[in-house]
Amino acid sequence: MVNQIGTNALYQQMTSHMSLTSNKINEAQTQASTGKRAQNYSGYGQDIKPLAFLHNQKESMTQQIQDNHRVIKHQDLMEASIRGLQKITNLFRNNLSLLRSGENPSPNMISDFAKDNLPFVQTLLNKTDENGQYLFSGTLNVPPVDINQISTYYQGDYNTLTAQIAPNLTFAYGIGADDPGISNLINALATAAQTNITSSQDAINNVMDLAEEAVAGLADILQRIGNNQKYVIDVNSRLKDDKVLVEQSLTEIEDVDLPEALTNLARYQTQLTALYMAMTSQQKLSLVDFMR
């Protein structure tokens, strides 16, 4: 009876060791196949808090970088619209130069050009970004330009569009369609469309002055957009660099030493095999004792 009790205790002990070793084999196999120390936070022991903090940082940085890309894209679209206005302005100024020098082949050329291009100006200024935000309406999300109300064409507000581009860093980047570079172009075209300026040198000169101011103003807008673009891109570049450091820290915590994991796997498998053999031998001895 004493031998039987001792044999049962040994059998239970060996079974327990086999179960623990089998769990270690499963863990080592998972580590080797995934390259990670554990599959959830609880498997990282004392590293749980720093691991959670780093994951939150990475998620926040990823979202911030994506938000900044939208700001950059918004400004790309603004730049494209302003370049379209530049082309119209330059053509208009060239036609005015011809008119002022007496080389204009058609008396209606200026007014026709102005009437034809005012709708294009409105279209360029009433564009939206991928989120449906109007590019030149300030913070009021409405079509900013209505050429049917030239004296009060601007329908947006006078607040500057802003975005948070990094923790504790808010950046102003919006430009309204009431900007002098834009308003001078609209006023020049509206004047030429609504009145016959060909009969008055003073009228031609006044419209030419507006056109010249529009040329300078639009160039200034492009310079501001370019500066803003560079600033956001630089901030985003730093965020990406910081994200790489966070990812490296995560790798140091999460990633398993693969050679070590494979070595452990082989050792545990050897231990399990030895336990099976020992248990088999013990069972045979127990059977012999029973037969006696």
How many structural domains compose the chain?
A: 2
* CA gap 89, 213 in Å, rounded: 10
Does any domain span residue 1?
A: no
Does any domain span residue 29?
A: no
Write the CATH number for 231: 1.20.1330.10
Q: What is the pLDDT of residues 233-273, one digit of tens each?
A: 999 999 999 999 999 998 887 776 667 667 766 676 777 67
Q: What is the pLDDT of residues 93-111, one digit of tens each?
A: 999 988 888 776 576 889 9
Does any domain span residue 124?
A: yes
Q: What token pair was written down for 277?
A: 């053999």
Q: Tell me if residue 107 falls in helix, strand or coil.
A: coil
Whether 115 and 160 map to the same domain: the answer is yes
Whether 104 and 234 map to the same domain: the answer is yes
Does any domain span residue 19?
A: no
Domain with 273, as residue range(s), is 256-292
* Closest listed residue to residue 262, CA positions, set 9, 4, 29: 29
Whether 190 and 173 map to the same domain: the answer is yes
Whether 132 and 273 map to the same domain: the answer is no
Whether 238 and 175 map to the same domain: the answer is yes
Whether 292 and 240 map to the same domain: the answer is no
Q: What is the pLDDT of residues 150-189, one digit of tens each?
A: 889 999 999 999 999 999 899 999 899 999 999 999 999 9
Q: What token pair was written down for 184?
A: 């001078």
How far CA 169 is from CA of 10, 159, 227, 235, in Å, comes to 67, 18, 17, 10
Does any domain span residue 202?
A: yes
Q: Tell me if residue 17 falls in helix, strand or coil.
A: helix
Rounded to two decimals, the pTM is 0.75
Are 149 and 194 in contact by the 8 Å Cβ rule? The answer is no
Does any domain span residue 120?
A: yes
Does any domain span residue 27?
A: no
Whether 265 and 189 map to the same domain: the answer is no
Whether 226 and 264 map to the same domain: the answer is no
- Does the pLDDT at position 127 exceed 80? yes
Does any domain span residue 180?
A: yes
Reported for 36-45, long-range contacts at CB under 8 A and 24+ positions apart, including other chains, are: 36/254, 36/255, 36/256, 37/253, 37/254, 37/255, 37/256, 38/254, 44/253, 44/254
Are 163 and 67 in contact by the 8 Å Cβ rule? The answer is yes
- Does the pLDDT at position 279 exceed 90? no
The whole-number pLDDT of residue 266 equals 67
The whole-number pLDDT of residue 109 equals 86
Whether 140 and 161 map to the same domain: the answer is yes
pLDDT top residue among 292 and 191: 191
* Closest listed residue to residue 269, CA positions, set 27, 69, 16: 27
pLDDT band at 64 (very low <50, low <70, confident <90, very high): very high
The whole-number pLDDT of residue 81 equals 98
Whether 173 and 117 map to the same domain: the answer is yes
pLDDT top residue among 75 and 257: 75
Q: What token pair was written down for 250?
A: 């995560």
Whether 167 and 147 map to the same domain: the answer is yes
Are 221 and 179 in contact by the 8 Å Cβ rule? The answer is yes
The whole-number pLDDT of residue 290 equals 44
* CA gap 282, 9 in Å, rounded: 12
The whole-number pLDDT of residue 47 equals 76
* Closest listed residue to residue 221, CA positions, set 179, 184, 185, 187: 179
Q: At 269, phi and psi to the nearest 5?
A: -65, -40
Q: What's the average model confidence in pLDDT over 11-29?
A: 71
Are 123 and 132 in contact by the 8 Å Cβ rule? The answer is no
Whether 60 and 203 map to the same domain: the answer is yes
Q: What's the average model confidence in pLDDT over 127-134?
A: 95
Q: Which of 251, 266, 283 is the last residue of a domain?
A: 251
* CA gap 162, 16 in Å, rounded: 64
